[in-house]
Amino acid sequence: MPLAKTVTAVLSDVTIAADAETLLSACTELDLDAAVQVEIEVAITYGATATAGAIVRVWGAAVTAEYTTAPTDEYALSFTAGATVRESFQTRASPRFMKVTALNEDPAVELIVTVKATVQVVS
């Protein structure tokens, strides 16, 4: 049973306003029908005067466009003002469809985020 991996850009250099979150409609949908493992990779650039970090949220759906009202998983990113932080985490491959959003917890400073997903499938 061979395995294959596909990397998908979920969000690419998206600016998130202070105290805001990316919309589900702005995120690429992942089809996890044959997935056995999912890894989320995040690169986030904080402003020099930022005082708070960000959270990445994972949303699942059994049917496309019918996403849960609460995230199925979330990951608090490390925070360093003025720096670009790169982190990755694994999440469940159980929903049929998945989207990933990012929440800027800073009350005054925007940030820039890129999210990629690596999906390992049975091929």
Q: Where are the domains of the chain?
A: 3-122
| Global confidence as pTM | 0.94
- Is the four-CA dihedral 118, 119, 120, 123 of positive or negative sign? negative
DSSP structural state of residue 77: P
pLDDT, one tens digit per residue, over 25-56 is: 999 999 999 999 999 999 999 999 999 999 99
Third-level CATH fold of 3-122: Jelly Rolls (2.60.120)
**Confidence at residue 111, expressed as pLDDT on a 0 to 100 scale:** 98
Closest CA to 85 of 77, 75, 93, 97: 77
**Confidence at residue 123, expressed as pLDDT on a 0 to 100 scale:** 81
pLDDT, one tens digit per residue, over 44-88 is: 999 999 999 999 999 999 999 899 999 999 999 999 999 999 999
| Burial annotation 79-115 (CB, 10 A radius, 16+ → b, else e) | beeeeebeeeeebebebebbbbbbbbbbeebbbbbbb
Is 85 within 8 Å of 36 (Cβ atoms)?
no
